[in-house]
Amino acid sequence: PAVDVARNLERWVKCVVMRTYAHSTLLEFAEAAPRLHVVNALSDTEHPCQALADLQTVKEVWGEWAGRTITFIGDGNNVATSLAQGAVMLGTSFHIASPAGYELPSNVVEQAMQVARHGAEIRLFRDPIEAVKGSDAVYTDVWTSMGQEAEAAERKRAFDGYQVTAHMMRHARQGAAFMHCLPAHRNEEVATDVFESPASVVFDQAENRLHSQKALLLTLMANRASGA
Ligand code: NVA
């Protein structure tokens, strides 16, 4: 069982970076091995390491977080959840446009709003064009996440109309960044010309996974050294 793996690893290493499906596996792991730092490298419900890199990237582009808006187009699952949580903590508002049945969960919205700062808000939309209006960045993710492959055809139908296109980008603020956590499916959730446009910061996001995750490990280890 996962708890035995955790108790083994706790004897050998200081930190585990774990990519899993069920979020509960991470929680069980952390509970079974309290001396071990457990970093979520992606679960079915959250992707906080991606959000760290994304928020570093927008700071590089905008020079600030407060008062800005990121609009997410698509599935309100792991990537959207962590980005919503992180963005509002820094004062960046979060819009999301999703088809029926794929919205950001209401408990995520409620919890995120409890830690929102500088007047940041979360707004849920059905219409992607309405959602991107006034946005400083437009973000999307795959329509079928890992582990959902059996739902691919159904999801393709559900997300019809949610592709990020050049037409959609024109409704955002001038110069708005295009963002994606990668890997991307060109001409599915994003049109190739948007993905390849000068507004696209997807490879800056990818690079910042390295820097932000190094910073995360350093922070965790530093806290350990100081006995915190
Ligand atoms: N939502 C995607 C993110 C991949 C980085 C997935 O879970 O597969």
Give distance in angstroms: CA of 146 to centre of ligand 1: 6
* Contact (CB, 8 A) for 21 and 41: no
Protein residue closest via CA to atom 1 of ligand 1: 145
**Contact yes or no for 120/93 (Cβ under 8 A):** yes
Q: How far is CA 66 from CA 88, 91, 107, 147, in A?
A: 9, 4, 23, 35
Catalytic residues: 19, 47, 50, 141, 181, 209
CA of 15 from ligand 1 middle (Å) equals 23
- Residue 47, classed as helix, strand or coil, is coil
Sign of CA dihedral 39, 209, 66, 69: negative
Which ligand 1 atom lies nearest to the CA of residue 50? Answer: 5
Question: Ligand 1: which residue has its CA nearest to atom 7?
Answer: 145
Q: At what angle do helices 2-12 and 23-32 cross, to 10 degrees?
A: 50
Q: Average pLDDT, whole number, for the chain?
A: 96
**CB distance 145 to ligand 1 below 6 Å:** yes
Q: Which atom, in ligand 1's list, is nearest to the CA of 146?
A: 8
> Which amino acid would we find at residue 81?
T
Q: Which residues pair with 17 in a beta bridge?
A: 39
Phi and psi for 186 in degrees, rounded to 5?
-60, 140
Q: Please report the pLDDT score of residue 160 as a whole number.
A: 98
* pLDDT-wise least confident of 105-114, 129-138, 217-226: 217-226
Q: Which atom of ligand 1 has the smallest separation from the CA of 141?
A: 1
Instruction: Find the mean pLDDT for residues 144-151.
Output: 97
Confidence at 221, pLDDT banded by 50, 70, 90: confident
Over residues 133-162, the mean pLDDT reads 98
Through-space distance between the first and last CA atoms of the chain, rounded to whole angstroms: 29
Please give the structure tokens belonging to residue 34.
């309290």
Q: Mind listing the pLDDT tens digit for each residue in 54-110? A: 999 999 999 999 999 999 999 999 999 999 999 999 999 999 999 999 999 999 999
Does position 227 have pLDDT exceeding 90, yes or no?
Answer: no
